[in-house]
Chains A and B, each alone.
Chain A
Amino acid sequence: DGGITQSPKYLFRKEGQNVTLSCEQNLNHDAMYWYRQDPGQGLRLIYYSQIVNDFQKGDIAEGYSVSREKKESFPLTVTSAQKNPTAFYLCASSGVTSTDTQYFGPGTRLTVL
């Protein structure tokens, strides 16, 4: 089945620790995205990548880092510099034309204790 996988679904970390969230897609999409969702705030763009080995900051990139070494994978690291890391993190992918739709993975709920 084609799709986007994120693991784990729930993740707990202690304050001050870095944590990496995985995102894998087998849709052969060139573009991948990371969003954060907080209650009442909708989705906010963290980072995006339109091609392997290249990525751009979104609206709230501070405290996060990404890599895009393979077309299928776009891991997100939440660093200790992120002030409020507890949130629901969603990965998405799409083609790169203007009409392409973004498709989302199931999300990872990160709780920092």
Chain B
Amino acid sequence: GQNIDQPTEMTATEGAIVQINCTYQTSGFNGLFWYQQHAGEAPTFLSYNVLDGLEEKGRFSSFLSRSKGYSYLLLKELQMKDSASYLCAVRRTGANNLFFGTGTRLTVIP
């Protein structure tokens, strides 16, 4: 079976750094994705990790540890527009589809 755990809600201050954690248990693993979703809109792709380590992309970084079943998304220099839900998803082996967590709703306050 599959399971993904993320915190339901987080609050952080504009200009600060926030880390959103994701732990997963899957029968097969073929990569982990992070998406951003503003309320009522479609998810947009942020990052992809398939090997252990840190991937950096501007203000956003994502880390993966396959042995621990753990990933995090790091957002630096927070802006008000970063207020959104952040979805962690695991690609299942053999089926080429994604299993999503319930998402973390981030609120950035002034």
Seen from chain A, the residues whose Cβ lies within 8 Å of a Cβ on chain B are 31, 33, 35, 40-45, 48, 50, 56, 58-59, 88, 90, 94, 96, 98-107, 109
Query: Does the CB pair A99–B96 fall under 8 Å?
Result: no
B contact face: mostly helix, strand, loop, or mixed: loop
Interface size class of B (residues with CB under 8 A): 20 to 34
Whose C-beta in chain B lies nearest to the C-beta of A96?
B96
Bound together, the chains give a CA A100 to CA B48 distance in angstroms of 10
Which segment of B11-19, B53-61, B74-82, B99-107 sits at the interface? Answer: B99-107
Query: Does the CB pair A31–B87 fall under 8 Å?
Result: no
Q: Chain B residues with Cβ under 8 A from A90's Cβ?
A: 42-43
Known: A42-B103, A98-B31, A99-B50. A104 touches B96 (CB 8 A): no
Query: Does the CB pair B33–A33 fall under 8 Å?
Result: no
Q: How many whole Å from A34's CB to the nearest CB in chain B? A: 11
Bound together, the chains give a CA A106 to CA B43 distance in angstroms of 8
Bound together, the chains give a CA A102 to CA B89 distance in angstroms of 11
Q: How many whole Å from B104's CB to the nearest CB in chain A? A: 10
Bound together, the chains give a CA A56 to CA B99 distance in angstroms of 15
Q: Chain B residues with Cβ under 8 A from A109's Cβ?
A: 40
Bound together, the chains give a CA A42 to CA B43 distance in angstroms of 11
A-B contact pairs, 6 of them (CB 8 A): A43-B87, A48-B96, A90-B43, A94-B96, A106-B42, A107-B41
Bound together, the chains give a CA A42 to CA B101 distance in angstroms of 6
Query: Does the CB pair B96–A45 fall under 8 Å?
Result: no
Q: How many whole Å from A8's CB to the nearest CB in chain B? A: 14
Bound together, the chains give a CA A105 to CA B41 distance in angstroms of 9
**B66 adjacent to chain A (CB < 8 Å):** no
Q: How many whole Å from A45's CB to the nearest CB in chain B? A: 6
Q: Chain B residues with Cβ under 8 A from A43's Cβ?
A: 43, 87, 89, 98, 100
